């Protein structure tokens, strides 16, 4: 059974953090076992942040794939972290890379990639892709499932 005694958010009523910096990404132990590494995917199709210049909301479909080593991201803490961006002003590129780096800092995965599929700002959709290096050998990497921009689906 997975050790969950150190989790402070799962199963409790937790307020949305006021900023991504204030959000806590919690982890649980993971046993990789033999064979190729597992790939874990989180999809956030309704991600929201704020334009740092106008304060207007920006919307994205975020897809995170990572190959955990010994720690998994606890999903409620990830949801609260992602929601905290609703009050955060930053450009698309900053938000996307910040999410990836925070997950790396929390879990120290074998590999991580993140795709931020941002809806148009000024008529131009901005897609941001970032990864830590080559994917692990033997890992199955499915397509992200996000359509190239034509209204995003």
> What residue spans define the domains of the chain?
25-129
Residue pLDDT, tens place only, 40-74: 999 999 999 999 999 999 999 999 999 999 999 99
Could you say which of 44, 58, 65, 95 is catalytic? 58
- Given the residues 51, 95, 127, 143, select the one marked as catalytic: 51
Residues whose CB falls within 8 Å of the CB of residue 108, separated by 6 or more in sequence, listed in order: 69, 70, 71
pLDDT at residue 149, rounded to an integer? 64
58 annotated active-site = yes
Mean pLDDT by runs of 10 across the 153 residues of the chain is: 65 81 93 92 96 94 96 95 95 97 97 95 88 94 78 55
Question: Which pLDDT does position 11 carry in this prediction?
Answer: 63
Domain 25-129, what fold? GTP Cyclohydrolase I, domain 2 (3.30.1130)
Helix 75-83 / helix 92-107 crossing angle, nearest 10 deg: 150
Nearby residues of 54 by Cβ (< 8 Å), 6 or more positions away: none
Q: What is the pTM of this model?
A: 0.89
């Amino acid at each position: 059974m997975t050790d969950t005694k150190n989790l402070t958010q799962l199963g409790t009523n937790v307020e949305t953090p006021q900023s991504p910096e204030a959000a806590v990404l919690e982890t649980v132990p993971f046993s990789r076992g033999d064979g190729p590494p597992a790939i874990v995917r989180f999809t956030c199709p309704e991600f929201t942040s704020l334009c740092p210049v106008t304060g207007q909301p920006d919307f994205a479909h975020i897809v995170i794939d990572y190959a955990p080593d010994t720690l998994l991201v606890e999903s409620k803490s990830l949801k609260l972290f992602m929601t905290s961006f609703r009050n955060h002003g930053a450009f698309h590129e900053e938000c996307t890379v910040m999410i990836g780096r925070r997950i790396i800092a929390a879990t120290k995965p074998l590999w991580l990639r993140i795709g931020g599929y941002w809806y148009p700002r000024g008529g131009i959709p901005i897609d941001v892709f970032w990864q830590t290096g080559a994917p692990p050998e033997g890992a199955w990497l499915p397509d992200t499932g996000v359509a190239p921009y034509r209204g995003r689906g």
